[in-house]
Amino acid sequence: MSNGDLLHIEPLELKFQFELKKQIACSLQLTNKSDNYVAFKVKTTNPKKYCVRPNTGIVVPHSTCDVIVTMQAQKEAPPDMQCKDKFLLQCAIASPGATPKDITPEMFNKESGNRVEESKLKVVYVSPPQPPSPVQEGSEEGSSPRASVSENGAVNSSDFNNVSRAFVDSQDNSSETKALISKLTEEKNSAIQLNNKLQQELELLRREHKRGHGGIPLMYVVIIGFIGILLGYILKKT
């Protein structure tokens, strides 16, 4: 803040968040802590680039006035984001009850013996703030659920319990699946062994039939057929 006797100016640097092809504005606050009416006038080294509203005015005693400085849209960024533009704010004592219509160039002429204060303001370009990176809600597909953490760093107990239950359920399902596969494998191996045994007995009966020219008992054939059907069902199931 400037420590002038007539006006306090804040800030003394005009900071513009520079973006191409976009008008950018910043503000000045002029504070009159005296008992006098104070006239002010704002000048710039590059009047085509900036628009100042109001560029002249009256600040009544013990009050403030805001001045808006707008930079026109720029097509190119300056090298290294450096700017050489400057502003000059002049202020002088005005007559009591003065209005902006009463301001004349002569009021800011030091050679006429008027009390004139001047403040030089620099122009600074700053990069615009980067938007926050998006945060995906929930866990990603294929990833395990995660427990949330509160602001004080403690893990949310309910979320932790949910994660634990989900993990235990997955472990239980995995154990049941492994047990079922193991059981079906044992049944399949037993069925294969039984089939081999029946094939051997059937071959043995065929040989005895050829030797004795006798017939195979009907009940034995039925039993073998039933066992074959059962074996086929088990093999199909596995």
Write the pLDDT tens digit of every residue in 97-132: 999 999 999 999 988 888 999 999 999 999 888 777
21-36 residues labelled b (16+ CB within 10 A) or e (exposed):
eeebebebebbbeeeb
Is residue 182 within 8 A of residue 238, CB to CB? The reply is: no
**Which residues, listed in sequence order, are joined to residue 44 by a DSSP beta bridge?**
87
Cα 124-14-51 angle, rounded to 5 deg:
110
Strand order in the sheet with 50-53: 8-10, 24-32, 63-71, 50-53
Number of residues that this document lists for the chain? 238
| Regions of the chain short of the pLDDT cut 70 | 1-3, 133-174, 209-222, 235-238
Amino acid 147: pLDDT: 47
Enter the DSSP assignment of 101.
G
Dihedral angle computed from the Cα positions of residues 199, 200, 201 and 203, in that order, rounded to the nearest 10 degrees: 80
Amino acid 1: pLDDT: 43
Cα–Cα distance between 106 and 159 in angstroms, integer?
75
Maximal CA-CA distance, the chain: 150
For residue 159, how many other CB atoms are within 10 A of its CB? 15
196-226 residues labelled b (16+ CB within 10 A) or e (exposed):
eeeeeeeeebeeeeeeeeeeeeeeeeeebee
Amino acid 167: pLDDT: 52
Amino acid 171: pLDDT: 56
For residue 227, how many other CB atoms are within 10 A of its CB? 15
Sign of the CA dihedral 136, 142, 148, 153?
negative
Amino acid at 133: S
Is residue 21 within 8 A of residue 74, CB to CB? The reply is: yes
